[in-house]
């Protein structure tokens, strides 16, 4: 969703209030630090590779009769790319969790939801109406807007976390009993009653969950850059949120 945290109604922390005061004086605010931006693009690249190779693993391409089977390694390369991208995704996710602790308050948004905050839910509903073209004027947000925060938590924090856990469980199954991956993630099969097919199916469905998010995310980011009052795509490149008018509300 959009890389848009809190307009005036949601200025619940001193950091938010400080950001909003800054917005009233300038048209640009530094929001996303370098580690967050690096993670975003590394994560995006890894997910693209994982989705493409994961689809091919689930629906293998036809045999290419260009040489003896012993001289071909096409499917092996597909699996290698999938495993390599999976490891990159996992390491990057751990790094992102680390930076959520030591980075600025915007870096922590992806890992929590203020579900007890009634005003936050009102802002979520407002954003839904805005995306449905039922509101004439969007609100300004320094970090993620509330709906984007909800989407990032459900699709990225939970979704990517789920894919990493089930992915390593399946990897451990291939490595064999007693392997490091089996010892760390073998419990996943116990959760589903020892049925390997269920884990494969859930992992495959998780891929489509991520694909749906990617489509919505790209659409909304471009839409907001055109229609909203703040930068979206360029913010994840420069780290700065720029605003199109002087009204801080």
pLDDT at 228: 85
pLDDT at 247: 59
In sequence order, the β-bridge partners of residue 230 are 243
Which 3 state secondary structure label does DSSP give 29? Answer: strand
**Burial of residue 200, with CB atoms counted within 10 A of its CB: 0-12 exposed, 13-18 middle, 19 or more buried:** middle
What is the Cα–Cα distance from 171 to 89, expressed in whole angstroms? 14
Task: Please name which of 139, 127, 165, 144 lies closest in space to residue 244, comparing C-alpha atoms.
Answer: 139
**Spans of all domains in the chain:** 8-242
Give the right CATH number for 8-242 from 1.20.950.20, 1.10.10.10, 1.10.3720.10, 3.30.460.10. Answer: 1.20.950.20
How far is Cα of residue 135 from the mean position of the Cα atoms in its chain?
26
Q: Which residues contact 171 (CB under 8 A, 6 or more apart)?
A: 83, 86, 181, 185
pLDDT at 92: 97
**How many other β-carbons are positioned within 10 Å of the β-carbon of residue 153?**
17
pLDDT, tens digit only, all 249 positions of the chain: 444 434 434 444 445 555 555 554 457 889 999 999 999 999 999 999 999 999 999 988 776 656 666 667 888 899 999 999 999 999 999 999 999 999 999 999 999 999 999 999 999 999 999 999 999 898 888 889 999 999 999 999 999 999 999 999 999 999 999 999 999 999 999 999 999 999 999 999 999 999 999 999 999 999 988 888 788 899 999 999 988 776 555
pLDDT at 249: 58
């Amino acid at each position: 969703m959009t890389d848009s945290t809190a307009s005036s109604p949601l200025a619940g922390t001193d950091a938010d209030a400080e950001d909003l005061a800054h917005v009233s004086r300038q048209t640009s605010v530094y929001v996303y630090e370098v580690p967050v931006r690096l993670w975003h693009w590394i994560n995006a690249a890894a997910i693209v590779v994982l989705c493409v190779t994961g689809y091919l693993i689930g629906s293998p391409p036809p045999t290419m009769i260009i040489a003896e089977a012993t001289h071909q390694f096409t499917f092996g390369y597909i699996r290698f790319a999938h495993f390599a991208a999976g490891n990159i995704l996992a390491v990057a996710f751990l790094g992102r969790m680390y930076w959520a602790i030591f980075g600025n308050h915007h870096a922590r948004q992806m890992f929590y939801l203020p579900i007890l905050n009634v005003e936050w839910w009102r802002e979520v509903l407002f954003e839904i109406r805005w995306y449905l073209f039922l509101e004439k004027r969007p609100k300004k947000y320094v970090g993620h807007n509330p709906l984007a925060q909800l989407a990032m938590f459900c699709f990225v924090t939970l979704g990517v976390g789920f894919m990493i856990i089930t992915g390593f469980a399946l990897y451990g199954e291939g490595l064999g009993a007693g392997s490091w991956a089996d010892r760390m993630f073998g419990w996943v099969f116990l959760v589903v009653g020892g049925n390997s097919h269920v884990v494969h199916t859930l992992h495959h469905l998780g891929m489509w969950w991520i694909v749906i998010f990617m489509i919505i995310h790209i659409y909304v980011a471009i839409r907001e850059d055109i229609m909203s009052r703040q930068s979206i795509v360029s913010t994840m490149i420069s780290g700065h949120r720029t605003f199109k008018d002087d009204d801080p509300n």
